[in-house]
Amino acid sequence: MASLSKSRFQLGLQCEKLLWLKCNRPELADPVTEVQQHVFDTGTRVGELARERFPGGVLIAEDHTQSARALETTTRLMADDPPRVLFEAAFVHAGVFVRPDVLVRVGDAWELVEVKSGTRVKPENITDVAVQMWVLEGAGLRVRRAHLMHLDNTYVYQGGGYDLRRLFAIEEVTSDARAWLPAFPELVAHMLETIDGPEPVRRIGKHCEKPYACAFFGHCHASLPERPITALPRVSDELIAALLDAGITSIGDIPPFFPGLTAAQRAVCETVRRGTPRFAPGLQAAFARLRHPIHFLDFETMMPALPLYPGTRPFQQVPFQWSDHVLAADGALTHLEFLAQPGPDPRPKFVQTMLEALGEEGSVVAYHASFEDSRLRELADALPGHADALARVRARLFDLEKPVRDFVQHPELLGRSSIKVVLPALVGTLSYDDLGIHEGGTASLRYLQCARGDVSAKVRDAIMADLRAYCATDTLAMVELHRVLQGEEAA
Ligand code: SF4
């Protein structure tokens, strides 16, 4: 007979086909990426730290493969004089199995605390709490209040151990969670039937990515063509459904006046149908304000959930690496870079070396420059002695993404302008394929592993080499893209 865990219940709320696949065809799931695994590991780490907020709590230590034993241990502990605080206690009701992160006994009632590694309460967190509340009350416990405990991104780490009262925020969500309970008997019964029934028919749509990226995304989207309708900019579920009803799965097959297309979507369809790139008049003029030496600058940052350096907050962006390809007026290209040795706060040396490299002359080109601009502003706040110099760098910034967005129509872009999409489309000579790191999320995660001392010296050295190659490729990509957009051949 089917049963549900808390996490499977959440999957069922997102998509019944997802629930069915998870229970019946788990082998079809996409492989877990390094970045996704990091998110899971961060949740575990934060959950363990959160327990320290409740001294004297008793942990039901059986893992997720030992559900029956976890239930037995919980029943034994609850029998006479239950501990005041229980971690990971196990309960089952009507086929639903839950293990609340924290239960606090208050007289003959209990308070439920669900720990999240994010920094705010999200709608999906409420159903997460609600299903636990429903099971606990069904199992005979009186639940007085329910809370979400999450990281507080206003907490500024002072060094040493964390001040757990300030690192975590606790928000009561009792009434929001309780509002869901009347719907649960029917919802749960339907999900249990779904698990035992045939594979549900569910179309792809926004729910494939929200609230969580579906683990079966690849499986359900595998039959879509190279330029699928789901890649249209800001495509709605209604438009996807209307296109599928019309038998259309490829952007190239969308008729020009298909109802419901926005102007931006129509432009993408037209570009795909035309099949050739188009550079709108005014592209060259967009670069008129660039001054040599042109610094093509890129930052890499990490966002530790648990702050590593005094003066930083949970999930604060901490820059640790920059790369600067410098294009002189005579066409000479030089490369400068900085990558902080893992250990102390990287920001002081990052700023000092970057200011030396940039000097006071020439334009500073970044791709999606609002990111670099925000980091420069934050660095000025953190290091006020450099605030004036950093303000002058901000005044020299030029966003290379803007001319791409404003003037370039290309059948490969589909309205997107991220450098990882633009580069292969416009600069075929340069690629990230042979690098050890292919995108910023992995760069961030690998440096964090070095900064926390999670890897051996040998692995750390390999990561540092990969990071150098990756960040240098980002700035060289901008140089080549600038050449192409100016009408020159890529080197
Ligand atoms: S990819 Fe979409 S349709 Fe397929 S199981 Fe996941 S959420 Fe459901």
Could you tell me the distance, in angstroms and rounded to a whole number, from the CA of residue 448 to the centre of ligand 1? 32
Q: Are residues 233 and 130 in the same domain?
A: no
Q: Is residue 211 a part of any domain in this protein?
A: no
Question: Are 88 and 169 part of one and the same domain?
Answer: yes
Number of domains the chain is built from: 3
Residue 214 Cβ inside 6 Å of ligand 1? The answer reads: yes
Quote the pLDDT of residue 252.
95
Instruction: Give the list of residues 6+ apart from residue 50 with CB closer than 8 angstroms, or none.
Output: 101, 102, 113, 115, 149, 164, 168
**Boundaries of domain holding 162:** 4-195
- Verify that 270 and 153 share a domain, yes or no: no
Residue 28 is encoded by which pair of tokens? 């079809």
18 in contact with ligand 1, CB cutoff 6 A: yes
Please state the atom number of ligand 1 nearest to the C-alpha of residue 14: 7
Residue 354 lies in a domain: yes
C-beta 220 within 6 A of ligand 1? yes
Residue 234 and residue 179 share a domain: no
Instruction: Write down the H helix ranges in 234-369.
Output: 237-245, 263-274, 347-358
Residues 154 and 244 in one domain: no
- Considering the domain boundaries, does residue 212 fall inside one? no
CA–CA–CA angle 465, 466, 467 (5° rounding)? 90
22 pocket-lining for ligand 1 (C-beta < 6 Å): no
Domain boundary residue, one of 142, 176, 195:
195
pLDDT at 490: 43
Q: Which CATH number goes with the domain that contains 17?
A: 3.90.320
Per-residue pLDDT of the chain (491 residues; tens, 9 = 90+): 678 999 999 999 999 999 999 999 999 999 999 999 999 999 999 999 999 999 999 999 999 899 999 999 999 999 988 999 999 999 999 999 999 999 999 999 999 999 999 999 999 999 999 999 999 999 999 999 999 999 999 999 999 999 999 999 999 999 999 999 999 999 999 999 999 999 999 999 989 999 999 999 999 999 899 999 999 999 999 999 999 999 999 999 999 889 999 999 999 999 999 999 999 999 989 999 999 999 999 999 999 999 999 999 999 999 999 999 999 999 999 999 999 999 999 999 999 999 999 999 999 999 999 999 999 999 999 999 999 999 999 999 999 999 999 999 999 999 999 998 999 999 887 888 889 999 999 999 999 999 999 999 999 999 999 999 999 999 999 999 999 998 854 44
Asked if 318 and 253 sit in the same domain, the reply is no
Cα 422 to Cα 119, 401, 414, 485: the distances in Å are 33, 9, 10, 11
Going through 94-242 in order, the beta strands assigned E by DSSP cover 96-98, 102-106, 109-115, 143-151, 168-172
**Is there an atom of ligand 1 within 6 Å of 451 CB?**
no
| Verdict on whether the full-model pTM lies above 0.95 | no
In angstroms, the CA 328 to CA 334 distance is 8
Cβ pair 132, 143 in contact under 8 A: no
Long-range contacts formed by 334-342: CB under 8 A, 24+ apart: 335/472, 335/475, 335/476, 337/468, 337/471, 337/472, 339/464, 339/467, 339/468, 339/471, 342/447, 342/450, 342/451, 342/453, 342/460
Q: Which atom of ligand 1 is nearest to the CA of 214?
A: 6
Q: Does the CB atom of residue 15 touch ligand 1 within 6 A?
A: yes
Q: Are residue 158 and residue 27 in the same domain, yes or no?
A: yes
Residue 11 C-alpha to ligand 1 middle, in angstroms? 10
Indicate whether residue 11 lines ligand 1 (CB < 6 A): no
